[in-house]
Structure 1
Amino acid sequence: MPTLPETMTFMAHGEGGGPDVLVPATGPLPQPAADEVLIRVLAAGVNRPDVQQRKGLYPPPKGASPIIGLEVAGEVVAAGPEATRWRVGDRVCALTNGGAYAEYVTAPATQCLPWPIGYDAMQAAALPETYFTVWANLFGHGRLMAGEWVLIHGGTSGIGSTAIQLAKEFGAHAIATAGSPEKAEACRDFGAEHAIDYRAQDFVEEVKRITEGRGVDVVLDMVGAPYFQKNVRCLAMDGRLVLIATMLGHEVEKADIRPIMLRRLTVTGSTMRPRTTAQKAAIAAELEARVWPVLSQGRCGPHIHATFPLARAAEAHRLMESSAHIGKIMLSVAAE
């Protein structure tokens, strides 16, 4: 058992605000519950919910760490009595319930997964939040099947790039939207059969053209209210609209619900953080069985756009808010 410090460095965000509220602070080492492990963090991912929490718009669930951050990779340094799968020294990546912007973090043992073969800490830390979200929503709620067509908005985001790759891997046909010709090309590089520059093209009309008027079977949307009616128009008979974020608003005005009835559409969606440990464990088990072998074979891995030291998390958040990135933004915390 390694000797552990009593305190650690973490990124505090005070009462919330702009990126500059993120500053290093010192606090007590978290203690794992009976079903948790304590991880020495080597790398952590930066995600849109982190930005919302920093602004004070996405409070952590009851009992979760108030420290920002939802995914890490690192080394297990302690484990509760019920966390029997993992041993001190094991290298894991974890979907945390908070607390990732720190030198140490606790996570339920069932929300931890081994690093895929050939992965380093940075690559492994880029997996949990994005892959849990895509698997649960695109293949769970969205029921995407081989041979179907899917429209993925934000194709160069961490979520979007993952969704494109996994859709292709499991036999579906992906159409992606992006905000520039360069980003549209990146979507094609990730495996999208078609990429639409939404600033220059009407994505509804492009979807109709590409599918010869049929529409797509699934839409994965993170934009929110402004795209709702357009997304409905893109769906084929028995299509599914899956909502995973509301980046540009959550209140839909003057929506026409008749197409939902006439084409037997399903409107669904979810967020990851409020799910129970058991629900997240089930997703982790499916990922380990279905997706981790693919990652270990060198396919469908995360694209890392930029890496910042933990102390420069504010810069990482500014980049996230600029939407200039393609793929994941990461934080390096400790050496492997």
Structure 2
Amino acid sequence: MSTGTMRAAVLTRAGGPDVLTLDRVLTPIPAAGEVLVRVCAFGLNNAEVLQRRGAMPPPDSGIPGLECSGVVAATGPGVTGWKPGDRVAALARCGTYAEYVAVPGGACMRVPDGLDLAVAAAAPEAAATAWWNLVCRGRIRAGERVLIHGAAGGVGSLAVQLARRLGAYVVGTARGDQKTALCAGLGCHEVIDYGSVDVFDTVSENFDVILDNQGGPAIAANVSVLAPFGRLIIVGVQAGGPGRLDAAVLMARAAEVSSSSLGRLDDVVREQICREVEQQVLPRLADGAIRVVVDRRFAFEDIVGAHERFSAPDRVGKVLVTVTDDI
């Protein structure tokens, strides 16, 4: 069976943004349990930049992409609950830099009518990361103090809003006036500009939950400001992976350090996260209670420009790429 060809942004080698080229490739055929999504738009993520640079292995197909929005084009054998034409956002393992992508049916989330389909493309990875790590791993509770590093980024900006809705006292970190103002507008009770002060010298009280995107080098400093029974959750290694942790300090606080990568979770766990995001987050995006911060939108033909913008120091929130305007 053949479904023809489609446009896709393909990695041909490691390098700068210009190694991404638009090619025609075979359109995927949904296997058992899979849904074929006609892509409206997709968001960019740090993992895709690392793949492009050669710091992470590229997908076997050569087509990056961890999230998208669109409509169901076809379903594979055994799929129930989805039909052609359904509006969906999808949390993929790869392949969303294309006109079509095949993903497990459980990785699709129904997009409410009130939510712009293109904007929904920016939600899956960030919302799943924020929800899984704040609610499931961090066990955040009303009244707790929460520190969110990189609060102006794609994950951080959603995490700030979710933490506020869950009743936490939220402190965010960001760099520069524009980003700190954004964080305040999103609901941070306090914002620390790490470009002008040392975050850990500035905080006056310890935190019950810390969401960290920096990784190893910041572990010891983060643990030093954990409250008794506090939880440090590592969601990124932008500053590098290796770090030192004094187990005695951790034990003295009866504290926890956890980490996770959505890409390394099995399909069953990812499906459960998608169901919770579908029920708890997407409706709030649709009714305006929370919002996805979109830095800029690019046409598919300017995928190189989108990658350049993603790495710009003044970028906030998500960078979106629109594949088609006729859905």
Place the TM-score, normalised by the shorter chain, in its bin. over 0.9
2-structure distance, mates of 1:315, 1:234: 39
2-structure distance, mates of 1:17, 1:311: 19
1-structure distance, mates of 2:86, 2:5: 22
Residue number among 200, 215, 220 corresponding to 2:211 in the alignment: 220
Residue number among 237, 244, 249 corresponding to 1:246 in the alignment: 237
2-structure distance, mates of 1:218, 1:158: 19
Equivalent in the alignment of 1:285:
275
**Structure 1 spans left out of the alignment, 5+ residues:** none
Q: AA paired with 1:231?
A: N
2-structure distance, mates of 1:326, 1:240: 26
Equivalent in the alignment of 1:316:
306
2-structure distance, mates of 1:133, 1:29: 29
1-structure distance, mates of 2:135, 2:313: 26
Residue number among 169, 173, 180 corresponding to 2:176 in the alignment: 180
Give, in angstroms, the shift of residue 41 of structure 1: 0.6
Give, in angstroms, the shift of residue 75 of structure 1: 1.2
Name the SS for the 1:138 alignment partner: helix
Equivalent in the alignment of 2:202:
206
Equivalent in the alignment of 1:32:
30
Residue number among 48, 52, 55 corresponding to 2:50 in the alignment: 52
Residue number among 154, 160, 168 corresponding to 2:150 in the alignment: 154
Residue number among 64, 72, 75 corresponding to 1:76 in the alignment: 72
Equivalent in the alignment of 1:269:
259
Residue number among 120, 137, 141 corresponding to 1:141 in the alignment: 137
Report the aligned-residue RMSD.
1.5
- Residues 222 and 246 of structure 1 are in contact (CA less than 8 Å); yes or no, is this contact kept in structure 2? yes
- Residues 106 and 271 of structure 2 are in contact (CA less than 8 Å); yes or no, is this contact kept in structure 1? yes
Residue number among 157, 163, 170 corresponding to 1:167 in the alignment: 163
Residues 60 and 13 (structure 1), Cα distance of their counterparts in 2 relative to 1, 3 Å cut: closer
- Residues 12 and 62 of structure 2 are in contact (CA less than 8 Å); yes or no, is this contact kept in structure 1? no
Equivalent in the alignment of 1:93:
89
Whether 1:197 and 2:193 are equivalent positions in the alignment is yes
Name the SS for the 2:185 alignment partner: helix
Residues 227-283 of structure 1, C-alpha deviation per residue, up to 9 Å, x if partnerless?
A: 111111121111111011111111114x43321010011010100012111111111
2-structure distance, mates of 1:292, 1:101: 22
Equivalent in the alignment of 1:236:
227
Equivalent in the alignment of 2:250:
260
**Structure 2 spans left out of the alignment, 5+ residues:** none
Q: AA paired with 1:131?
A: A
Residue number among 107, 128, 132 corresponding to 1:111 in the alignment: 107
2-structure distance, mates of 1:113, 1:323: 31
Q: AA paired with 1:281?
A: E
Residues 171-217 of structure 1, C-alpha deviation per residue, up to 9 Å, x if partnerless?
A: 1111000111221111011111000001111211222x2x3xxx000
- Residues 164 and 170 of structure 2 are in contact (CA less than 8 Å); yes or no, is this contact kept in structure 1? yes
Name the SS for the 1:199 alignment partner: coil
Give, in angstroms, the shift of residue 324 of structure 1: 1.5
Q: Which moved more, 1:4-13 or 1:190-199?
A: 4-13
Q: Tell me the matched-pair count.
A: 325
Give, in angstroms, the shift of residue 289 of structure 1: 2.5
1-structure distance, mates of 2:64, 2:313: 20
Whether 1:67 and 2:79 are equivalent positions in the alignment is no
Equivalent in the alignment of 1:9:
7
User: What TM-score do you get using the length of structure 1 for normalisation?
Assistant: 0.93
Residues 96-145 of structure 1, C-alpha deviation per residue, up to 9 Å, x if partnerless?
A: 11101001111111111111331122111111011111111111111111
- Residues 146 and 170 of structure 2 are in contact (CA less than 8 Å); yes or no, is this contact kept in structure 1? yes
2-structure distance, mates of 1:181, 1:231: 24
Give, in angstroms, the shift of residue 5 of structure 1: 5.3
2-structure distance, mates of 1:135, 1:185: 23
- Residues 285 and 292 of structure 2 are in contact (CA less than 8 Å); yes or no, is this contact kept in structure 1? no
Equivalent in the alignment of 1:330:
320
Q: AA paired with 2:31?
A: A
1-structure distance, mates of 2:215, 2:81: 39
Q: AA paired with 1:227?
A: A
